């Protein structure tokens, strides 16, 4: 488990030109990002495809957050495109165990994303079989969605049950609440609009990083 809290910029767009611009921006201030891939079925929105993502040259290390049905169908493309990890939704897979096994067989790291309504006991038996658990602190699919503070109770529950699990949060994180995430011992804080929709994304990323580092348990 990584120590402290790391800000991970989350790249979400349906425009290949905007994607390339966001990648170039991110390369100026970080070495790791999360790309969001949405199919218009698991969530209402669409994003760029894996093929469009693969077409953009990247110096970054990266993972993919799959807000899709049948996430395993994307794994080969994502591996070939250079993904380090795939994060799929527990709620999207009839057999999450089979999806985890498919990711491992493809040589990918694997994380489990959890929608706000899903209780911890529903996925707890799987938490020890993945590299990370990512709690959605919004209803997924859009930049700027409303933050749902009640999800933080689940962070506390999971940390108590599995102290060494890598825990992430994703959605609605801003300068006003990022310290709260860090104080809870969240390891990975995925941030989209509070970085990329700001006048100076690099400066926003640095402020968020400083706030998280100052608040993280010593």
CA dist., res. 24 & res. 35, Å (int): 14
pLDDT tens per residue across span 139-179: 987 767 789 999 999 999 999 999 999 999 999 999 999 99
For 124-161, what is the HEC assignment? HHHHCCCCEEEEECCCCCCCCCCCCHHHHHHHHHHHHH
Residue 4: the pLDDT is 80
CA dist., res. 156 & res. 185, Å (int): 9
The CATH number fitting domain 6-215, selected from 3.40.50.1370, 3.30.420.40, 3.20.20.70, 3.40.50.720: 3.20.20.70
CA dist., res. 136 & res. 151, Å (int): 8
- Pair 39, 69: CB distance under 8 Å: yes
Residue 159: the pLDDT is 96
Residue 145: the pLDDT is 78
β 109-114/167-170 pair status:
unpaired
| 170 counts as catalytic | yes
| 153 counts as catalytic | no
| φ, ψ of residue 55 in degrees (nearest 5) | -75, -10
CA geometry: angle 31, 129, 65, nearest 5 deg: 40
Residues 36, 76, 131, 153: which is the catalytic one?
A: 36
Low-confidence ranges of the chain (pLDDT < 70): 1-3, 143
Residue 1: the pLDDT is 47
Instruction: Look up residue 85 and give its two tokens.
Output: 């990890």
Q: Where are the domains of the chain?
A: 6-215
- Pair 75, 111: CB distance under 8 Å: no
Residue 217: the pLDDT is 81
CA dist., res. 111 & res. 131, Å (int): 5
Residues 14, 15, 39, 170: which is the catalytic one?
A: 170
Beta bridge partners of 65: 36, 87
């Amino acid at each position: 488990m990584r120590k402290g809290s790391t800000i991970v910029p989350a790249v979400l767009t349906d425009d290949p030109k905007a994607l390339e611009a966001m990648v170039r921006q991110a390369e100026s201030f970080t070495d790791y990002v999360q790309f969001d891939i949405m199919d218009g079925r698991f969530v209402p929105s669409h994003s760029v495809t894996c093929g469009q993502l693969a077409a953009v040259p990247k110096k970054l290390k990266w993972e993919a957050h799959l807000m899709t049905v049948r996430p395993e169908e994307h794994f080969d493309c994502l591996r070939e495109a250079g993904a380090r990890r795939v994060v799929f939704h527990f709620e999207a897979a009839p057999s999450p165990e089979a999806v985890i096994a498919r990711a491992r067989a493809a040589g990918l790291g694997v994380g489990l994303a959890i929608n706000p309504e899903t209780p911890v006991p529903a996925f707890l038996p799987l938490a020890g079989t993945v590299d990370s658990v990512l709690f959605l602190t919004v209803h997924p699919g859009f930049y700027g969605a409303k933050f749902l503070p009640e999800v933080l109770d689940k962070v506390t529950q999971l940390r108590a049950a599995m102290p060494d699990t890598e825990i992430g949060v994703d959605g609605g994180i801003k300068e006003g609440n990022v310290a709260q995430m860090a104080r809870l011992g969240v390891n990975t804080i995925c941030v989209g609009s509070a970085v990329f929709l700001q006048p100076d994304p690099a400066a926003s990323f640095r402020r968020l990083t400083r706030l998280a580092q100052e608040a993280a348990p010593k």
